[in-house]
Chains A and B, each alone.
Chain A
Amino acid sequence: MTRSCTLAALLAMGAASLSHAQSVGKFVPDFAQIQYAGSNGWLGIGAGYELLHRRLRTQAQYGYVPPERGGPLHMLSVALFYRPLRVNSNKTLQINPLDIGFKGSYQFGRDYFFNLPSRYPPNYYWWKPAFRLHLATESSVTYKLPKTAGIRSVTAYLEFNTNDLYLISYVLNAGSLRIGEVVKAGIGVRVGF
């Protein structure tokens, strides 16, 4: 019940900000995206802005894992990506070989504390199960559409990420844990407005 309320509130907030944004032109996001996996939901929906001639990309994403995929889990992430390089193969096609970024993700739910509950002795668990910091890369192909198309571009992307806790495990066990065990993937489609 609490969870579905949270979900409804999130969706309502998203819808409200979108409709509000459309009335105030400059707040309209530069893109919206839908993503499969990537440690932020079985399916995630997000939106964001591009800054500094599209070299920087900020985005927020809501993700959901249904019970039959290992949930139910609700999460929210905020990310910042930097594009060091782009390749324009022609006027309509652009390739971003490797964008790099950070992502902070928040896991909703009573089982995931952000502050250590008071029943524990101080510093009993040093990490925050509700919050993960991810290191991520993204490779993408963008099709730029003609002005008449109504949308600016369509991007297909492949994302890799690891998080603080996986990375600690890896660094302290580099002889045993393989990089493939700590790096996770996601794919998505982004529509530019």
Chain B
Amino acid sequence: MKIKSITFRIADYVTQSLIILTQFTLALLLTACDQFEFSPNQTFDQTSPTNLNAQNLARLRGNAEDDTVTIVFAGDTQRWYDEQERFVKKVNSLPNIDLVLLAGDISDFGLLQEFKWVQKRLSALHVPYFGIIGNHDMVANGARIFSKMFGPLNYSFVYGGIKFIAHNTNGLEAPGRNIPDLGWLARELQNAEGARHIITVSHVPPYNTVEFGAESVEPYKMLLENTPDLLLSLHGHVHQHQDFHPFSDQVRYMTSFSFEQSAFVLLQIVNGQILKSIISY
């Protein structure tokens, strides 16, 4: 009788150990698959990339520069993942592209997973892409996630004789936090590198007064107006392609399509001349 119950006990322990082992294996498998989430708002996880803009700049530097700089100008990837895959296929099918500019609203809710989903898809691009922060990327923990994944919110680089000045213009998201940073922008626009031309890229255009930050509009507009080598001021946010002179000065403002519209703007720049085409995908 006693022996029988001990046998049962042992059988129990074996079953128990087997189940624990199965769960443990499953757990390990899941860890490998990056399934364990601590919070939708966490700043990073084990597999989230870092410093993408710097890495992509290094890739761009590997290009042989010629007299034409060809830019894919897009923005507002937010929540349109099917479209991102088609976008990548289209861009990869075009010859001689130098870089992709992504003018903000990479995410919709400012969540880490969204940034990862977008990055996973755009990482299939054959050319480097540059992320610029949008207002949706600043919701919740978004600004920290962006800066961990892409790098500084304001940055610049020179390629093919053009100085690209990417910066944060989402003033409404953080009142009192010096957005846009006009002092930084003024210094960058002085063009210490001596680039032939300048292109500024940011998310909210200054003519969207409330979202840009009303008190910054006039000084920002003046800064750009007083930069003779400025070719273009590029923006996202409005989810439609615009190309005009809203302040009736010589500064040409241009906005990107959103991914929802399955189209992007292709800019070919030769000696300061801009050839623009609209590409659907």
Q: Which A positions have Cβ atoms within 8 angstroms of B? A: 36-42, 63, 65, 69-71, 73, 75, 89-90, 92-93, 95, 107, 111-112, 119-121, 125, 127, 129, 132, 141, 143, 156, 158, 163, 165-166, 168-169, 172-173, 175-177, 180-187
Contact = CB atoms under 8 A, between A and B. Distances in A.
Which residue, A92, A120, A173, A183, has most C-beta atoms of chain B within 10 A?
A: A173
B184 interface: no
Given A70-B112, A71-B42, A180-B33, 12 more contacts: A39-B37, A39-B39, A70-B44, A90-B8, A119-B175, A132-B40, A141-B23, A165-B111, A169-B117, A182-B113, A185-B30, A185-B37
B27 to A, nearest CB: 6
A49 B82 CA distance: 43
A90 B13 CA distance: 12
A176 B140 contact: no
A71 B139 CA distance: 16
A70 B36 CA distance: 13
A57 B245 CA distance: 62
Classify chain B: how many residues form its interface, as a range: 35 or more
Nearest to B120: A181
16 contacts: A38-B36, A39-B39, A63-B39, A65-B38, A70-B43, A71-B39, A71-B43, A90-B12, A93-B12, A112-B141, A125-B139, A129-B140, A132-B40, A176-B81, A185-B30, A185-B35
Interface in B110-159: 110-114, 117, 121, 139-141
